[in-house]
Amino acid sequence: MQVFILVIVCCVMLSDFVVVTLNLPPFLHFIPEVLSGILVVYIFIAGTRDRFRLVASKYWLVFGALSIVILCGVINGGTGSGAVITGMRFYLRALPMFFLAAVMPLTDDQLKRLLKWLLGLSLIQLPVAGYQRWIVYSEDRYTGDEVRGTLLDSGILSMFLICAVLVMVGLLLKRRISALWFTVLFFLLLLPTTINETKVTVIFLPLGLLVTLLLGAEPGKRLRYTALTLIALIGFGAIFVPVYDMLEEHNHYKVKLVDFFTNQQQLDNYLIAHGRNHGTGIGGTKLSGRGDAVMVPVAYLARDPVTLAFGLGIGNASPSNLGKNFEGTYNRLFRSLLVTSFSYFVLELGLFGVALILMLYWMIFADSMAVARLDTGLVGAVAAGWTGVTAIFVLGILYTTFYQFPSLTYLYCYLGGIICARRSALILDGSYSVTATGAERTLSVRAVS
């Protein structure tokens, strides 16, 4: 099964890229779903033996509540079976990875092997992105949107690599990697985010580092690690900003990075004003700004309280590469607004669904904090970085449609599941317990064997 996990990891990182590059049959895009189907069988057999003892009851409650919301949305929206299949594919295909971590816990050696594979797959992005940038230049174009690595989207590539850096920060905090190796890998991993000109890097990276350092570092060493990371961040900024502006030098629509964040008109155009131009908004054909992608769907759903609560139905706003019969009824109506995960979540799951998704992220975030403080093993080091990763994913809901990319969802579910299962194990073996009496809460901890 360990080999099978590595196959899945390689598949979600490389298969779509290989299919597109070599122009292979489109049905090969569904390899992750096939592998998930195999996992479901294994998880059902292995999980029933120990009654899923490492899956905390709070997750069953949230998944159960989300199932009810999905069912209500499908009934209320009259969602067709094809759209439901498409929606289930996007929302549920990575979920078996979360439960796999609970029914088959990893040893530190096995987790170390997995992290080495992930590091190798992360470093591959640099030469691939460099080649893609050269292709863009050779064709006298200047956009960084086509510098996507093997993940088929520039924003997703940057988000993935920033998360990889945050996991390394967790390893640094727990002394699982040296400062020298951290510094070298820090710049190698973030270089593709420079040549693909992803503006959000200047927001995601500092935010993720801040959360990880504040919550993952030991109290007496936070200042030291903060200073080290700040130096690395300043060094990266000294490279990122001039390289970004240099790559935009011959772009007729160029906007310097500093001007983008300091010029109110430029920022408004990026967030809101696109939706005021012809061809955007509901029924439009041009992509709207991210601010419009949040406000317009909510305003549309607010006309009916039930629809606002439960959405239009899972998959009812989603596109599909299986044909029109599997495309959501509302996809063309909202196509110009479907630029963020929030747009899909609120349209298809309603405000109740969005709230449950945020609650799920909060529970993983809380488990990551607990494991980072209590577990002295490798899982504790990964958990320290996972606090920042989860913060990035929450913010990413307003940035991109990351939930449609298996490279992010499969890895987040699996590593997040490992952390959540570890916290359950600590509780079951008595290493961690919480008791409450009135307004007082007492945390008792003993050494982790």
Per-residue model confidence as pLDDT tens digits over 133-158: 888 878 777 676 788 999 989 999 99
> What is the arithmetic mean of pLDDT over 87-106?
92
Query: For position 211, what pLDDT does the model report?
Result: 87
Q: Is the confidence at residue 357, as pLDDT, over 80?
A: yes
- DSSP H helical segments within 93-200, as ranges? 95-103, 108-138, 154-173, 179-195
Q: By the 8 A CB rule, do 150 and 125 touch? A: yes
Query: For position 283, what pLDDT does the model report?
Result: 62
Q: By the 8 A CB rule, do 391 and 213 touch? A: no
Q: Is the confidence at residue 197, as pLDDT, over 80?
A: no
> DSSP characters for 260-312?
HHH-HHHHHHHHTGGGGSTT-STT-SSPPPHHHHHHHHHHHHTTSHHHHHH-S
Q: What are 42-60's pLDDT values in tens digits? A: 999 988 888 889 999 999 9
- Per the listing, tokens 């909060």 go with 362
One-letter identity of residue 92? L
> What is the arithmetic mean of pLDDT over 230-259?
62
Looking at per-residue confidence, does 322 or 258 come out higher? Answer: 322
Q: Alpha-carbon distance 217 to 79, whole Å? A: 47
Contacts of 211 (CB under 8 A, 6+ apart): 387, 388, 391
Q: Report strand pairing: 432-437 vs 440-445.
A: antiparallel
- Mean residue pLDDT of the chain comes to 84
Share of the chain above pLDDT 90, in %: 50
Query: For position 250, what pLDDT does the model report?
Result: 56
Q: By the 8 A CB rule, do 35 and 97 touch? A: no
Stated length of the chain: 449
Q: Give φ, ψ of 145 to 5 degrees.
A: -65, -25
Q: Which residues pair with 222 in a beta bridge?
A: none
Q: How confident is the model at residue 6 (pLDDT cuts 50, 70, 90)?
A: very high
Query: For position 68, what pLDDT does the model report?
Result: 96
Query: For position 275, what pLDDT does the model report?
Result: 44
Residue 262 is encoded by which pair of tokens? 């300091």
Q: Alpha-carbon distance 306 to 72, whole Å? A: 9
Prediction pTM value = 0.86
Of the candidates 372, 367, 429, 314, the one whose C-alpha atom is nearest the C-alpha of residue 98 is 367
Query: For position 183, what pLDDT does the model report?
Result: 87
Q: What are 157-179's pLDDT values in tens digits? A: 999 999 999 999 999 988 899 98
Query: For position 255, what pLDDT does the model report?
Result: 55
CA quadruple 144, 147, 153, 155: dihedral, nearest 10: -50
Q: Which strand (E) or helix (H) includes residue 434?
A: strand 432-437
> What is the arithmetic mean of pLDDT over 207-213?
87
Residue 404 is encoded by which pair of tokens? 């449609």
Share of the chain above pLDDT 70, in %: 81
Q: Alpha-carbon distance 8 to 29, whole Å? A: 13
Q: Alpha-carbon distance 286 to 336, whole Å? A: 5
Residue 440's SS3 state is: strand
Q: How confident is the model at residue 436 (pLDDT cuts 50, 70, 90)?
A: very low
Q: What are 298-341's pLDDT values in tens digits? A: 999 999 999 999 999 999 999 887 777 888 889 888 888 888 99
Q: What are 102-118's pLDDT values in tens digits? A: 998 888 999 999 999 99
Query: For position 15, what pLDDT does the model report?
Result: 92
CA angle 297, 403, 247 (to 5 degrees): 90
Query: For position 10, what pLDDT does the model report?
Result: 95
- Per the listing, tokens 């170390």 go with 112
